[in-house]
Amino acid sequence: MSQHLFLPLVIFVISPIPGAFQDSALSPTEEPEDLDCGRPEPSARIMGGSDAQPGAWPWQVSLHQGGGHICGGSLIAPSWVLSAAHCFVSNGTLEQASEWSVLLGVHSQDGPLDGAHVRSVAAILVPDNYSKVELGADLALLRLTSPAKLSPTVRPICLPRASHRFAHGTACWATGWGDLQEEDPLPLPWVLQEVELRLLGEAACQCLYSRPGPFNLTFQLLPGMLCAGYAEGRRDTCQGDSGGPLVCKEGGRWFQAGITSFGFGCGRRNRPGVFTAVGPYETWIREQVMGSEPGPAFPNQPQESQTGPWESREENCTIALPECGKAPRPGVWPWEAQVIMPGSRPCHGTLVSESWVLAPASCFLDSITSDNPPRDLDAWRVLLPSRTRSERVSRFVPHENATWDDASDLALLQLRAPVNLSAAPRAVCLPYPEHYFLPGSRCRLALWGRGEPALDPSAQLEAELLGGWWCHCLYGHQGASVPPPGHPPHRLCPYYQEEEEEAGRCWNDSRWSLMCLEEGTWFLAGIGDVSSGCLRPRAFSPVQTHSPWISHVTRGAYLEDQLAWDWGPEGEETETQTCPPHTEHGVPIATIVSILTPRLCHCLYQGILPPGTLCVLYAEGQEDRCEVTSAPPLLCQTEGGFWVLMGMAVRGSQELFAAIGPEEAWISQTVAEAHFLPPSGSPYWPPAGSDLCPPDMAGASGSPQAAALILLLLTPLIQD
């Protein structure tokens, strides 16, 4: 159960109303076998809260297998429980009924189950046409070995008839012991959770699912399914709630409109939960339970008009939320946060929700190694744009790998009071793990950590993102497989149109975060580590890998406020790609570079380089060479152990070298003693017209981006 509205608990008790269980709503056409259903003992329910009151949902059952809760279910008759088929079918096979037990009248699943009782299962029935959740018919009936003991905390729910339509927009309730959000199990004492969900019309649901974001390519709402939830996400069912009921109150009774079936993630924007609609299965249910006395009840329901008051508002599936990632001007970041600690330089971080700031943990190294929470937390302040007063900090959560892994150099700081999000301050958007930043995306740098701006702070560099293949292979190893779109990248490589020489020095002294723009929305895409220094193209560690941690710590602030685009591969580029070999000339003497294959060099530079130019790669973990200014020689050792002068740097470039080989005649004439090795037999340049480049770059030939990249790489490096 994913529920991110945590309201204070207000407990009050309404004394039982005499005669509350008399069925005043029964019509003369009521079927004789109907038992009283859908009426819990009157209780105080905490609206918008998360823990249910004991006995508030007396039809809710917990289905156990192997001693643990697996799925929810609902009591529909003393001997029958309704649940989801997918709880009992694995690899096309229906599990043994004897493996399952049904817990009735449970509130907290921890400790003594006061007032609860257990029944074993005699039979599990699943519709013949059930195959997998996405194809519908995800329901199951469990026949108990002996009838449940009905009591105020154990009562059946009413079922709707096939002809009944629940009005779109009706407020209904889902209940269960499922996760609080993705990857976040319900903590002890495992109290039953409730969440209010609105029924969504079919068109609205399909419209939401077609909005960009994860999973938008895969969903088709089928007959017999219904959606409930909200465009903005936040409140939803989640893993472990499956099989549990979605109930709506009509005419003074609770009816089960749906069975929690599946969804795409939990509480995500535009991805409401999907339920099996119960009404359409009236006949199937009646057939299965035939002969049982008493059977489930299908009382008359007042038929409402099919078009509820919410319908028109839903159909255009718009969301009104404080938006993340909208900046008035690039470089003017409304999410820029400065953390001030007594006795040290300010630390630049980013506002990621109304209550949380993300910053490099290395700013707070003293705090990480000493006690947690840090003693001086009271003295910390956060400055945010357009706020006249600074914010106080109530909690400091460093990433567990922060002290040894640069890519995890992150900490979250919780503000004592949430700030009002408006034009400024405003949160940046964070990418989900499956976020795919399109090659060529527009990006910019923002200050990060204790970094002093090496440049005039207004001159933040405009950059474009390199394709994943390039970034991965330039920094990765030969034969390494490239993460396909939809998988978190290992690095993000932007290349810059303006160059660092403006600053007169390498930006090595500054740390930057990488902001990338999609559809007018800025995402915090990456964080720069100091070790990437002056290597080019610069590499940033992707933030998306940390979204589960951020989401877990901020408890939904992330899900609430973040958009997630997923411009997936759409059919192409799904084949596994690997990195080509980096060198065929042995290890260079300075041990800091490898020569790229002619093909890679040719593709990377789009054939614009003069024939005979060698490109080199600064491999992972190596020192940067910002201090090298004079044209260095490129020396390589052959298999025979000879050291060979392979090339001379092109105009001081660190990546490009003019090959010596083609100049053999001229050198021999000038320096009679020079020794030349026999040719290696491998030309430095591929034949004209060969198109061996990966698809990423194939279409980019001669593009401004490619030209910019070439200019960048040819730019001589200027020393401090």
User: Using an 8 Å Cβ cutoff, are 236 and 272 in contact?
Assistant: yes
Maximum separation of any 2 CA atoms in the chain, in Å: 116
Pick the closest to residue 266 from 632, 3, 589 (CA basis).
Answer: 3
CA dihedral 437, 441, 444, 448 (to 10 degrees): 10
Residue 34 or 241 having the CB closest to ligand 4AZ: 241
Quick check: 88 binds ligand 4AZ (CB under 6 A)?
no
Which residue from 192, 199, 247, 266 is in contact with ligand 4AZ, where contact means CB under 6 A?
Answer: 266
Q: Which 294-323 positions form the footprint of ligand 4AZ (CB under 6 A)?
A: none
Q: Are 686 and 584 in contact (CB under 8 A)?
A: no
Instruction: Record the tokens describing residue 153, joined without a space.
Output: 């905390």
The reply to whether 239 sits near ligand 4AZ by the rule CB under 6 A is yes
Q: How many CB atoms lie within 10 A of CB 610?
A: 11
CB closer to ligand 4AZ, 269 vs 399: 269
Tokens at residue 2, please? Answer: 């994913």
Contact between 263 and ligand 4AZ (CB under 6 A)?
A: yes
In this complex, which beta carbon is closest to ligand 4AZ, that of residue 134 or of residue 406? 134
Among left, alpha and beta (phi > 0; psi -120 to 50; other), residue 283 is alpha
- Single out the residue of 193, 260, 562, 705 in contact with ligand 4AZ (rule: CB under 6 A): 260
Beta bridge partners of 578: 481
Looking at the Cβ atoms of 208 and 266, the one nearer to ligand 4AZ is: 266
Q: Which stretch binds ligand 4AZ (CB under 6 A): 257-265, 375-383, 637-645, 703-711?
A: 257-265
Least CB distance to ligand 4AZ at residue 2 (A): 7
Interface pick for ligand 4AZ out of 53, 109, 242, 532 (rule CB under 6 A) = 242
In this complex, which beta carbon is closest to ligand 4AZ, that of residue 216 or of residue 408?
Answer: 216
* Interface region with ligand 4AZ, contact rule CB under 6 A, candidates 232-240, 391-399, 483-491, 558-566: 232-240
CB 255, min distance to ligand 4AZ, A: 20
Distance CA 52, CA 173 (A): 11
Considering the rule CB under 6 A, would residue 181 count as an interface residue with ligand 4AZ?
no
Under the binding rule (CB under 6 A), the answer on residue 156 touching ligand 4AZ is no
User: Which of the stretches 149-157, 256-264, 422-430, 442-450 binds ligand 4AZ when contact is defined by CB under 6 A?
Assistant: 256-264
Q: Count other C-beta atoms under 10 Å from residue 461's C-beta.
A: 21
3-state secondary structure of 407: helix
Task: Tell me: does residue 170 bind ligand 4AZ (CB under 6 A).
Answer: no
Q: Does 560 bind ligand 4AZ (CB under 6 A)?
A: no
Q: Report whether 219 contacts 236 (CB < 8 A).
A: no
Question: Angle 699-701-703 (CA atoms, 0-180°, nearest 5)?
Answer: 100
Dihedral sign (CA 291, 292, 294, 298): negative
From residue 164, give the alpha-carbon distance in Å to each of 69, 281, 298, 303. Answer: 32, 12, 10, 7
Closer of 237 and 355 to ligand 4AZ (Cβ):
237
Q: Which of the stretches 6-14, 237-245, 284-292, 302-310 binds ligand 4AZ when contact is defined by CB under 6 A?
A: 237-245
Closer to ligand 4AZ at the Cβ: 216 or 355?
216
Query: What span, in angstroms and rounded, lies between the C-alpha atoms of 155 and 37?
Result: 7
Cα 46 to Cα 49, 181, 257, 555, 592, distances in angstroms: 5, 20, 21, 20, 64
Identify whether 138 is a catalytic site residue: yes
Q: Which is nearer to ligand 4AZ, 171 or 711 (CB)?
A: 171
Confirm or reject binding of residue 241 to ligand 4AZ (CB under 6 A): yes
C-beta of 3 vs 53, nearer to ligand 4AZ: 3
The reply on whether position 273 binds ligand 4AZ by CB under 6 A is yes
- What is the Cα 679 distance to its own chain's centre? 52
Task: Give per-residue burial for 502-539: e unless 16+ CB within 10 Å, then b.
Answer: ebebbbbebbbbbbbbbeebbbbbbbbbbebbbbbbbb
Count, residues near ligand 4AZ per rule CB under 6 A:
11
> By the 8 A CB rule, do 390 and 402 touch?
no
Tell whether residue 270 is a contact of ligand 4AZ (CB under 6 A).
no
CB atoms within 10 A of CB 702: 11
Residue nearest to ligand 4AZ (CB): 263
User: Per the structure block, which two tokens stand in for 205?
Assistant: 């649901």
Residue 268 vs 444, nearer CB to ligand 4AZ: 268
Q: Cβ 243 to ligand 4AZ, closest distance in Å?
A: 8
Contact stretch for ligand 4AZ (CB under 6 A) within 230-238, 298-306, 641-649, 694-702: 230-238
Coil, strand, or helix at residue 336? Answer: strand
Minimum distance of ligand 4AZ from residue 260's CB (angstroms): 5
Concatenating the DSSP letter of every residue in 165-202 gives: -PPTT-EEEEEES--SBTTBPPPTT-BPEEEEEEEE-H
Is 262 an interacting residue with respect to ligand 4AZ (CB under 6 A)?
Answer: yes
Q: Has 86 been annotated as catalytic?
A: yes
CA 52 to CA 42: how far, in whole Å?
A: 13
Instruction: With contacts defined by CB under 6 A, name the span among 51-59, 185-193, 236-244, 580-588 that binds ligand 4AZ.
Output: 236-244
For residues 82 and 121, the answer to whether their CB atoms sit within 8 Å is: no
Least separation in angstroms between CB 178 and ligand 4AZ: 6
- Given candidates 34, 138, 194, 236, which one binds ligand 4AZ under the rule CB under 6 A? 236
Spell out the alpha helix ranges (H) of 504-663: 547-554, 557-561, 598-604
* Shortest Cβ 335–ligand 4AZ spacing (Å): 28
Indicate whether 213 belongs to the interface with ligand 4AZ (CB under 6 A). Answer: no
Q: Does 238 interact with ligand 4AZ (rule: CB under 6 A)?
A: yes
Q: Which of 4, 86, 107, 164 is catalytic?
A: 86
Which is the catalytic residue, given 62, 69, 138, 532?
Answer: 138
Residues linked to residue 276 through DSSP beta bridges, in sequence order: 225, 259
With CA atoms as reference, report the closest residue to 541 among 360, 318, 317: 360
* Least Cβ distance, residue 236 to ligand 4AZ (angstroms): 4
- How near is the Cβ of 86 to ligand 4AZ at its closest, in Å? 8
Return the number of the residue (260 or 350) whose C-beta is nearest ligand 4AZ. Answer: 260
> What's the gap between Cα 114 and its chain centre?
39
Contact footprint for ligand 4AZ (CB under 6 A): 236-239, 241-242, 260, 262-263, 266, 273
Residues with catalytic function: 86, 138, 242
